[in-house]
Every structure is written in structure tokens, then in C-alpha cells.
Structure 1
Amino acid sequence: MKKSKILLGLALTGVLAITLIAADHIDAPAVAGGKSDITDFYAFQGSNTNNMVFVANVQGLIAPGSTAAATFDENVLIEFNIDNNGDNVEDLVIQAIPRNGKMYFFGPVAPLAPGTQSFVKTQNPLGSVDITEYGSSAVISTQNGASMFAGPRDDPFFFDFGQYSAIIGGTATSFNNPGTDTFAGTNVMSVVVEVPKSSLGGSGTLNTWVETKKK
């Protein structure tokens, strides 16, 4: 099962950090409630402006009492896709796959073939990181010029779903300020990788999206 989030036009250059996001929670019936369900995708310039950061969150709406038992699925590949020439086809991928308490990262590397099928490019290891346990300080690994994290995090996406439903239903005309954070108190399983811009190719903009692919 493939599920993707598309995000277009992320600037590689400039003084200000640029953040673009895409989000949904349990709205894809084929993967709803499963470990391949993508909730959020973030791509932004790092605090080191020579770097780009990619974040994929999966398994939304995990209750705190269930988070300690939450795990990544070893049969699910998380793949960050990078189009650096503007044709909306991935030129590079960064792949993340869990094994035995670690998240292993590969790339950025040209995929064997673009599209819905992927093969883990194990000949291009980027590094690995121990998956952080719930309630523990974040474990971050820096290898080969990249920084990596994997583990549970508080859901960072703010959305007033109740007010949204009221607007759609015609009983309200606008959002409240500040509104109600529907996802407050729930967690996600997060995968974060920061890499040098120089490893991503191109010189203008990136089109980038994330997919989960099940073995």
C-alpha cells in the first residue's frame, strides 16, 4: 500500500527559513489506523541554513497510555522523494526503514525506478539511530553530514476539527482565534532527517513529498 503527501515549490535558497506542511489524520480508508498512515509531512530549512530537514509523522492520534507500546512497522518503508528539476518525478530519495530498535536511513540517492514501487538502496547508507523510547530524551545521531531521529513525539499539527466541521456543515462561517487544538494530548511516530542542501541537487527549488510503502 502506497500513501503519499505532495508538497511543491520549497525554496533551496534564501535568508529566511521556509516551512511548508501537509497533514491529514486517518482519512485514507485503506491505511486508517495502521502503521503506514501518514499524518504530517514537513520540509524546511535547518537552523544551519546549508541544510534541509524532512519530517514524516505516521500513526496519528496515539493516546499517551498507548504510546509506550507503539512501534514502527518493519515492513513499512518511509520514503522522502525529491524532485530537483521541476518535472514532478523523484530524482532522489531518502529511505528510512526500522530494524530491531533502530531506524536505518539510505540516500539521498537516485531511485532504481520512480513511481509506486521502491527498492531499499542499501548500498547507499546514510546512517542509523536508536529509536527513542516514549518518555525519554530524544536520541539524535549525526553521521555522514546528516542528523537523524525516530520515535514518538507530541502531535505538532494544530487543527480545530470541530470548527472545521461546523464550517463545512454551514453552521459557522469562520475559525475561532485561537480555536481548539483537536489533536492536543495525542502522539505520533516521527521520522526526522537533516541533510546538506548540496546533497539534494538542483539550484532553484525542490518539489518534495513523502510516501509509505508496505513490503
Structure 2
Amino acid sequence: MRRLPKRRTELGRVDTMSDHFSGPRAIAGPAGDICDFYVFPSPSRPGWIVLVMTVHPNAKPDTAFSDAITFRFRMRPVTIPGEVTHLAVGTEAEEIAFDLSFAPPAPGDDSAMGQIGRCVAISGEPVAVTVNDPSGAHTDALSVYAGLRSDPFFIDLPALQRSMMSGQLAFSYPGTNSLMGADVLGIVVEADYAPLLTGGHGPVFAVAAETVVSGPLPIRLERTGRPEVKNVMLSPKAYDSVNSDIELRDLYNLEDPFHMGKDYRAAYRTRLNANLPVFDSLDGKVDWPTTEDGVHPLTELILGDYLVIDISKPYTDNSFFEIEQSMLAGHPHATCGGRSLNDDVMDKIYTLLITAGQGPPISDGVRAATTPAGTDFPYLAPANQPPAGQ
């Protein structure tokens, strides 16, 4: 049985949230910084799937989408094997992608309203969308929205920081949403999922979001699957005795979500094997015993960093990580999985990492975003009004 880590105040602080500011490069280049990523069956259009990417933390009314970046959703079919440490993801030939790119804003436009985006979907036929048009753009098989919206993420970041620095849970009730009133640039793609099931694929898919440099040299700027893998699980360095002076997040962002390279894989594993037991210890007990070699039971599953969704099951607000947890427990999943806009993923992450789902849920006391998302396209809540006097 592993001993609990010694509590110490030099434990690496968690200074960011969800996927906002997930590394030095994201901080330096917010235009390509993915804040969050969501995928869920449409609650209002049966037979359709919704993909949402938010970018550019703390966006303003004059913030435009970069014309040098491609914003990409990627999907591959998944099978759930008997081996519980990983999912079997389909090949590159089976991949389905939705690419969005943007022209520069119209000259003299200080609201980005005149900016035009283009979505290339499964059929390859582009769909044009005007940024900040609340109705978006629609075809028989696709709906697209792009524009300034209220940030749907919610977290009590200072309470998490206090927990990490003290080595024990420091949440209060109610908590305070650190993103109250914040806006982001939102991209929403709603697609008929019948074409996704051709060739016997599905209904379970692995899905990830990326920002990539547009043009002939498509360098990956950032990739995002599950929330808080980079900023909570990989960010703290103090317990990683092998890589304690290395910022891993920029390297991790360069990795293909479905095919991690071998060069830094050991470094990511070492960091997770060092950090995950620290989260487990925050309630003063061990719920995830490691192996004699110090391997944490969740490390390999977390390194398969993508959302997993079963599009044959109906929408629910409360299904994040359910497919993976069912796999770990050895029984069939019951929900669509994925991640909805209103799902309280922080409470689920805390409960998973700290208690392994044994006993009462762990909560930071924050229950909803500034304005909860809606059930109809484009789902994301409208941008927040600036405070009086600004």
C-alpha cells in the first residue's frame, strides 16, 4: 500500500482553469488558445450531434477570430475492449473532421460582425457563416455559429489553489465562480450524425478539438480533449522528481490526440504518476493504490485525452466521463458520455481523482456558469453586458 504524500506548501500551484491559458505559448497567443471543448447529442434535434469549441479567454466585443488559424474538430470511431486501461481508437482513414477558418475582419469594423467564417464538413462543401450573427448558418445537414458568447465554464479557482497549497480540501459552500462575467469566442457545429455511421462506424466516437496554423505548414498550436488534464493534472511540477524543471504543457499541446509520439510519452506518464496521488491524498486517504513501481491506475486512461461519446444515446446534462468510468467498473455504459455545456465537470473531476467515486461527491460549491447554456442552437449564452460605467 502506498504511503500518503507528505503535505508541503511548495506543491505546484494551479494558476489556470479548464484549458484556458494552458501553457506559455497559449498565454502568449490567446487567439489559438482553446478554453473548452464540448460534444453532446442535440437536446432539441434528435439525430444531430453538437460540437462546441471556445477560444480566446476574456474576449471582448472587438475580438476577432484569427485568419491564420484553422479551428478543427476531429472524430474517430472507438471500440471498448476488455482491457480497461485504454480505448481502441480508429485509424486516420476512419477520421471525420470539421474545419473552420476565417477571413480577416472587414476594414474599419470594430465589432468583428463583418468577419466571415467557412466550415468544411464531411461532404467537403463549405458553409459560410457571419461572425456574431445570432442565427448562424444552416444547410440540410449542418448548422454553424461563430461569435462572442458568455464563457460556459465554472470553477472556484482560489479554493482549488488553497486545497493544493495546504494539502487538504478547502472548498466552501457556496463557492465563487472565478469566470463570472467572462466572455469567449465560441464555435458551434451541429451536424446530422447519420453520415457518421456509414461503413459500420460508431456509435461510440473519440472526439478532440485543435487549433492549427493555416496553410502549407499545419503546425498544431493546441489540442484539447478532457478538461483540466493540462492545467490541473500535468501543470504542477513539485512532486515530479524526474521532470520538476520542465513545463510539459506546450509539448503536450503538440501531440496528436489520437496518436501520441514516443519522444515525451515517458515524461507525461511520470508527471501524472507523481501528481495523481497528490490529488488522491487531499481527503487524507488512499482510494487509488499505485503499483510497486508507482504507476497510478488512471494514468493510461487520462493519456488517451479525448472525449468519448455514444451518439445513439439521448442527451443528458450529467454524463461527462460516464463511459470511461463504466469501462473501469467493468459494466456497460448507460449514457451518451461526452460533455454537455452545463455539466459540472469540476465536481466530477474532484470526485474521480480524490475519492475514486467512493462516498459523497466532492464539490467546490459552484453549480452553474454566469448564464447557463440553452437547449437550442447555438446553445452558448449571449455575451455578458459590461459593468455599468465601462
TM-score by length of 1: 0.74
- Is residue 130 from structure 1 mapped to residue 130 from structure 2 by the alignment? yes
The structural deviation recorded for 1:149 is: 0.3
Equivalent AA in structure 2 for residue 96 of structure 1: L
Instruction: Find the counterpart in structure 1 of residue 161 from structure 2.
Output: 165
The structural deviation recorded for 1:187 is: 0.7
Per-residue CA deviation, residues 48-79 of structure 1 (Å, 9 max, x unaligned), is: 120000000000123xxxx1210000010000
Q: Counterpart of 2:40 in 1: which secondary structure?
A: strand
Do 1:82 and 1:200's aligned partners in 2 also have CA atoms closer than 8 Å?
A: no
Structure with greater proportional strand content? 1
Do 1:129 and 1:140's aligned partners in 2 also have CA atoms closer than 8 Å?
A: yes
Instruction: Find the counterpart in structure 2 of residue 38 from structure 1.
Output: 34
Do 1:151 and 1:191's aligned partners in 2 also have CA atoms closer than 8 Å?
A: yes
The answer to which structure, 1 or 2, has the higher relative contact order (CA under 8 A, 6+ apart) is 1
- Is residue 95 from structure 1 mapped to residue 99 from structure 2 by the alignment? yes
Do 1:126 and 1:146's aligned partners in 2 also have CA atoms closer than 8 Å?
A: no
Give me the CA root mean square deviation.
2.0
Do 1:35 and 1:58's aligned partners in 2 also have CA atoms closer than 8 Å?
A: yes
Match of 1:104 among 118, 121, 143: 118
The structural deviation recorded for 1:141 is: 1.3
Instruction: Find the counterpart in structure 2 of residue 75 from structure 1.
Output: 68
Distance 1:70 1:171 in 2: 39
Do 1:131 and 1:139's aligned partners in 2 also have CA atoms closer than 8 Å?
A: no
Structure 1 runs of 4+ aligned residues shifted over 4 Å read none
Instruction: Find the counterpart in structure 1 of residue 204 from structure 2.
Output: 205
Equivalent AA in structure 1 for residue 63 of structure 2: A
Equivalent AA in structure 1 for residue 100 of structure 2: A
Instruction: Find the counterpart in structure 1 of residue 51 from structure 2.
Output: 54
Equivalent AA in structure 1 for residue 118 of structure 2: Y
Match of 2:77 among 56, 74, 84: 84
Match of 1:178 among 174, 177, 186: 174
Equivalent AA in structure 2 for residue 28 of structure 1: G
Q: Counterpart of 1:60 in 2: which secondary structure?
A: coil
Q: Aligned in 2, Cα 1:88/1:187: closer, same or farther, shift over 3 Å?
A: farther
Equivalent AA in structure 1 for residue 54 of structure 2: N
Equivalent AA in structure 2 for residue 75 of structure 1: A
Distance 2:18 2:125 in 1: 28
Q: Percent identity?
A: 23
Do 2:49 and 2:192's aligned partners in 1 also have CA atoms closer than 8 Å?
A: yes
Instruction: Find the counterpart in structure 1 of residue 296 from structure 2.
Output: none
TM-score by length of 2: 0.42
Equivalent AA in structure 1 for residue 19 of structure 2: D
Larger-Rg structure = 2
Per-residue CA deviation, residues 180-203 of structure 1 (Å, 9 max, x unaligned), is: 110111110010000011122323
- Is residue 27 from structure 1 mapped to residue 22 from structure 2 by the alignment? yes
Distance 1:142 1:28 in 2: 35
Instruction: Find the counterpart in structure 1 of residue 243 from structure 2.
Output: none
Q: Counterpart of 1:30 in 2: which secondary structure?
A: helix
Distance 1:69 1:25 in 2: 19
Equivalent AA in structure 1 for residue 186 of structure 2: S
Q: Counterpart of 2:162 in 1: which secondary structure?
A: helix
Structure 1: give runs of 5+ residues left out of the alignment.
Answer: 1-21, 110-123
Q: Counterpart of 1:35 in 2: which secondary structure?
A: helix
The structural deviation recorded for 1:23 is: 3.2
Distance 1:197 1:174 in 2: 43
Structure with greater proportional helix content? 2
Q: Aligned in 2, Cα 1:163/1:51: closer, same or farther, shift over 3 Å?
A: same
Instruction: Find the counterpart in structure 2 of residue 10 from structure 1.
Output: none
Structure 1 stretch displaced more, 90-99 or 51-60: 90-99
Q: Counterpart of 1:61 in 2: which secondary structure?
A: coil
